[in-house]
């Protein structure tokens, strides 16, 4: 029996943060489709930081799918008034190495990799408190 791709999310409207957790083998297209769907459901998606937990996920997001999310985000660029932070929680060196390249596709976006949810969340909170 093969393990299925599974994605859950929580929207914290009070702190303007979306938490995504991916478990199992990465389904790149489904992961990006779901992120776009979640962002579209928010009143002002450009005001939400994100924590993406990939610790229990195998694989990575395909470049063409990153481009699709980048195109969606670029369509919002006229509304974005502050940089959005995305904390990617991973121990996968390939994902960590690719983040700076992916970051170039997203206007007013800052992505960083962290080994734990606590470290990634602390980085988001640092801006709020600082």
Residue extents of the structural domains in the chain: 6-129
Given a contact cutoff of 8 angstroms between Cβ atoms, the answer to whether 113 and 101 are in contact is no
pLDDT at position 98 is: 87
Q: pLDDT for 14-48, tens place per residue?
A: 989 999 999 999 999 999 999 999 999 999 898 89
Q: What is the DSSP letter of 16?
A: T
Sheet holding 49-58, edge to edge: 6-12, 17-25, 49-58, 84-89, 109-114
What fold does the segment set 6-129 form as a domain?
Answer: Transcription Regulator spoIIAA (3.30.750)
For 48, 64, 83, the CA distances from 102, given in Å and listed in that order, are: 18, 11, 15
Give the mean pLDDT of the chain: 88
pLDDT at position 117 is: 95
Calpha distance 42→65 (Å, rounded): 21
pLDDT at position 1 is: 46
Strand ranges (E), the chain: 6-12, 17-25, 49-58, 84-89, 109-114
pLDDT at position 88 is: 96
pLDDT at position 2 is: 54
> Does 99 score more than 70 pLDDT?
yes
Q: What percent of the chain has pLDDT over 90?
A: 57
User: Using CB atoms within 10 A of its CB, is residue 33 exposed (0-12), middle (13-18) or buried (19+)?
Assistant: middle
pTM of the model: 0.90
Calpha distance 114→53 (Å, rounded): 9
Calpha distance 91→80 (Å, rounded): 30
C-alpha 33: how far from chain center: 12
């Amino acid at each position: 029996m093969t393990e299925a791709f599974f994605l859950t999310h929580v929207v914290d409207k009070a702190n303007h943060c979306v938490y995504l957790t991916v478990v199992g083998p990465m389904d790149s297209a489904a992961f990006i489709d779901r992120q776009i769907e979640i962002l579209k459901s928010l009143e002002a998606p450009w005001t939400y930081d994100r924590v993406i937990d990939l610790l229990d996920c195998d694989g990575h997001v395909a470049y063409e799918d990153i481009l699709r999310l980048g195109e969606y985000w670029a369509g919002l660029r006229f509304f974005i008034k502050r940089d959005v932070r995305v904390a990617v929680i991973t121990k996968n060196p390939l994902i960590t190495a690719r983040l700076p390249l992916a970051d170039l596709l997203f206007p007013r976006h800052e992505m960083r990799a962290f080994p734990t949810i606590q470290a990634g969340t602390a980085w988001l909170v640092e801006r709020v408190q600082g």
